[in-house]
Amino acid sequence: MYQYDRHDQRLVDERVAQFRDQTRRFLAGELSEDEFRPLRLQNGLYIQKYAPMLRIAIPYGLLSTRQLRKLAHIGRKYDRGYGHFTTRQNIQFNWPRLEDVPDILAELASVQMHAIQTSGNCVRNITSDHFAGVAGDEIVDPRPYAELFRQWSTFHPEFAYLPRKFKIAVSGSAIDRAATLVHDIGVHAVRNEAGEVGFRVLVGGGLGRTPIIGHVIREFLPRQEILNYLDAILRIYNRFGRRDNMYKARIKILVKEMTLPVFAQHVESEWERLQGGLATVPDQEIERLASFFVPPPYEAVPGEDAGFRSAIADNRAFGNWVKRNVFPHKVPGYAVVSLSLKKTGVPPGDATSDQMDVVADLADIYSFGELRVSHEQNLIFTDVKQAELLALWGELKTLGFATPNIGLLTDIICCPGGDFCSLANAKSIPIAEAIQRRFDDLDYLYDIGDIDLNISGCMNACGHHHVGNIGVLGVDKNGQEWYQVSIGGDQGEKASLGKVIGPSFAADEMPDVVARLIDVYIERRHDDERFIDTVRRLGVEPFKERVYAAAH
Amino acid sequence: MPLLIKGRAVVEDGWMLLREAAALADVPADSPVIVPLALWQSEHDALAARGNVGVWLKPDDDPDALAGDVERLPLIAIDFPKFVDGRGYSSARLLRDKHRFAGELRAIGDVLRDQLYYLRQCGFDAFAIRVDRKAEDALGGLDDFSDNYQSTTARPVPLFRRRDTASESDTPLPTA
Ligand code: HEM
Ligand code: SF4
């Protein structure tokens, strides 16, 4: 992974000193609440329902075991012994004290981490494909570019006070695992006919109140021009994005109101001026960045491991786990493993400090000392030898991270909701748990197969409910918590937004509602048809009929 | 006389800022003044002839409107009604990088210590700190950072063109 040099280190150290002084001045009354708020947000610090909440960046999802141990330590020393992995490749701590935050940032800087721009109206943590570098379907490894963008966005002096937050995701595969279509900018690393690496650039996607799928603004951009192009897009957005209404301030609204062709014309003419200038990225820099992402020293293993094959045959539980939580690796004899943070009864994405320490030990033993965080709120070991999967599985079971449910109904994406978030209309974690409890029969879950169920506690959509095959949204009706259900949403390269099936439900109805949606699917599906495909084929009507016929 | 950060020093400000001037009659005859863009445009020839008139821009004023005047204007000011309104950063870069304005570029309005570093990188070289704060106390904000990754107006060569990867000093730091 990327390693800081003295320049990178100096910048994060200077940031810690800056924030320490800002916090001191705030506590001394020299900075007003309004003056301090944007400064603390740009250091990841929210003031939440019960306490401050600190959001730490895990740039494009990459974490070394040394860094994970530091997070475990922070959880233990400054918080209540756990952290929450989010859908944006960040980790949040819910109970730090404001006075301690400068010290926490200093601890992070000591392991080349930070909380820079994890919140606020600026360019946020850059996210990417959690299988980058090991996926067989990869066209280009997106990580060097993700790091290039991380550096470009960090303390960009012109874009620290944008109309609204700005999220950029990068993918290098035909299969989009980074939800690039629902980001302010989606960047796809591609090759043109000549085999040269460049980018397809998308703008104006996003979830929240007004969910929109991003539009292609440029089919092919030479790789050297990408920072000039990003500067051009951000400059147009910074100047013309709406600032009168915070609900209409995202770039997606600007693109919609201006229309894509007009917006693109502005961007292209600005880019024309910048093209070839000093921000043009020389290939040496791309090579320098790429040199940090070379493959680990894989052993030459003779393809499929025989012991592994027989263990699958002999041990049904292990076989189930392999089927759901283990993914193919481009190197023979190796596998990618997903650690499920979706055990029933534990809030999705939560891990204790003790668990983090054990995960770090395991990654040192089994996966070259590195791991990933996925936007589905799970952890990933990218480089495990097939022959060692059985042993790893045993360890993960003890740890509670071997629930064999990746991609299944109980692998729920869920925001913190009313239990923690002051913007919530309704709780979301208990709904996730009730659904997990209702679907506790593994055979049935396997029979249902691939399905995304996403829950947000309000229309801000932190839980991605719009792009869940089943989406659940907490709404407020006369001060009570209700849940609106949509179906047909999807993430990935065929991203689509779900359709609301009808009036909302009370919390205790939710497991039944989901069960009825699944019943319709089981009865009407064709062979091998996934839930989303059945919904696409049949439309919302049959599902809606069943749910409301039974309810009333 | 009000104080101003100019470059890196606190100096007395010789310019009068006319926030409301709507007609030539509102403009004092001799002293250096900064007038709104609208007045500059409506009384262009009379004001331009004086040589001691600057212009201030609102966040949504188009810097291109001054394209023909950048050579003769001694001063352009950009207003920040609220410091969280970041449009002025882009206006500044357009004036400096696109129109090659070389005179004084001054930030006015809600101008505070914690934004000075970024403002300077975008081409501002004068800062009229908000009147209830001391300019001396704000000076330190100019040096919050010693470098930046990007190509900026004040430091056009981005860090990736300045790293000396061949030298010992720019190799990655140990992580263990
Ligand atoms: C508990 C504190 C949190 C607060 C106050 C908060 C606030 C918000 C707000 C206001 C929006 C809407 C922005 C807009 O539409 O312009 C939003 C969107 C979003 N947040 Fe959060 N959030 C919180 C936690 C989280 C967590 C834990 C996650 C990940 C699990 C997350 C990930 C996202 C994502 C993915 C979006 C929607 C994507 C988009 O902006 O288009 N947030 N958040
Ligand atoms: S979706 Fe709403 S309730 Fe959930 S974390 Fe985001 S802002 Fe809070």
The domain locations on chain A are: 6-109, 134-290, 306-399, 413-551
d(CA A455, CA A442): 21
- pLDDT for B171: 84
Q: What is the Å distance from ligand 2's center to A217 Cα?
A: 30
d(CA A441, CA A446): 9
Cα Rg, chain B, nearest whole Å: 18
Give, as one character, the DSSP assignment of residue A138.
B
Nearest chain B Cα distance for residue A359, angstroms: 18
Query: What is the rounded end-to-end Cα distance, in angstroms, of chain B?
Result: 56
- What's the CATH number for A6-109? 3.90.480.20
Q: Which two tokens stand for residue A167?
A: 């999220």
Whether A134-290 and A413-551 share one fold: the answer is yes
d(CA B150, CA A37): 25
Q: Which two tokens stand for residue A249?
A: 């301030």
Residue written as token pair 């740009």: A42
Chain B residues touching residue A7 (CB < 8 angstroms): 147, 159, 163, 170
Chain B residues touching residue A159 (CB < 8 angstroms): 86, 89
Crossing angle (nearest 10°) for helices A283-290 and A143-153: 110
Tell the residue nearest (CA) to atom 6 of ligand 2: A462
Q: Is B151 on the interface with A (CB under 8 A)?
A: yes
Q: Are A16 and A102 in contact (CB under 8 A)?
A: yes
Q: Which ligand has the nearest atom to the CA of A350?
A: 1
Chain A contact probe: residue of B132, B145, B150 with most A CBs at under 10 A: B150
- pLDDT for A86: 87
Crossing angle (nearest 10°) for helices A6-27 and A33-41: 160
Residues 418-457 of A with CB under 8 A from B: none
| For A281, nearest residue in chain B (alpha carbons) | B160
Chain A contact probe: residue of B160, B162, B171 with most A CBs at under 10 A: B160
d(CA A455, CA A457): 7
Q: Name the residue type at position A348.
A: P
- pLDDT for B118: 98
- What's the CATH number for A134-290? 3.30.413.10
Q: Report yes or no for ipTM above 0.95.
A: yes
Q: Is A122 in the pocket of ligand 1 (CB under 6 A)?
A: no
Chain A residues touching residue B91 (CB < 8 angstroms): 239
The partner residue sitting opposite A3, judged by closest CB among B83, B165, B173, is B173
Q: Are A543 and A535 in contact (CB under 8 A)?
A: yes
Burial class of residue A109 (count of CB atoms within 10 Å of its CB; 0-12, 13-18, 19+): buried
d(CA A508, CA A486): 17
Q: Are B153 and B161 in contact (CB under 8 A)?
A: no
**What kind and span of H or E run contains B76?**
strand B75-80
Spatial CB neighbours of A334, under 8 Å, sequence gap ≥ 6: A134, A298, A301, A383, A384, A385, A386
Query: What domains can you pick out in chain B, each with its CATH number?
Result: 3-170 (3.40.50)
Q: Is B111 on the interface with A (CB under 8 A)?
A: no
Q: Is A206 in the pocket of ligand 1 (CB under 6 A)?
A: yes
A19-56 as b/e, with b when 16 or more CB fall inside 10 Å? Answer: bebbbebbeeeebeeebbbbbbbbbbbbebeebbbbbb
d(CA A156, CA A489): 34
Cα three-residue angle A261-A262-A265, rounded to 5 degrees: 85
The minimum-distance atom of ligand 1 relative to the CA of A414 is 30
**What kind and span of H or E run contains A206?**
none
Chain A contact probe: residue of B60, B64, B85, B89 with most A CBs at under 10 A: B89
Query: What is the longest distance spanned by two Cα atoms in chain A?
Result: 68
Mean pLDDT value across residues B29-36: 94
d(CA B82, CA B119): 14
Point out the residues of chain A with pLDDT beneath 70. 48-50, 550-552
- pLDDT for B176: 56
Q: Is A309 on the interface with B (CB under 8 A)?
A: no
Nearest chain A Cα distance for residue B111, angstroms: 11
Measuring from each residue's beta carbon to the nearest atom of ligand 2, which residues come in under 6 Å? A 415-417, 421, 423-424, 456-458, 460-463
Q: Is B81 on the interface with A (CB under 8 A)?
A: no
Which whole-number Å values give the CA distances from A61 to A183, A328, A373, A396, in the listed order? 16, 19, 5, 20
d(CA B52, CA B16): 11
Mean pLDDT value across residues B43-55: 95
Does the beta-carbon distance from A159 to B93 stay under 8 Å? no
Q: State pLDDT tens for residues A24-43.
A: 999 999 999 999 999 999 99
Q: What is the Å distance from ligand 2's center to A498 Cα?
A: 18
Does the beta-carbon distance from B156 to A39 stay under 8 Å? no
- pLDDT for A238: 98
Does the beta-carbon distance from A4 to B147 stay under 8 Å? no
Interface A–B counts its CB contacts (< 8 A) at 122
d(CA B55, CA B69): 10
Q: Report the CATH superfamily, name and number, of domain A413-551.
A: Sulfite Reductase Hemoprotein, domain 1 (3.30.413.10)
Q: State pLDDT tens for residues B75-123.
A: 999 999 999 999 999 999 999 999 999 999 999 999 999 999 999 999 9
Q: Is A10 on the interface with B (CB under 8 A)?
A: yes
Q: Architecture of domain A306-399 in CATH?
A: Alpha-Beta Complex (3.90)
Residues 223-252 of A with CB under 8 A from B: 227, 235, 238-239, 243
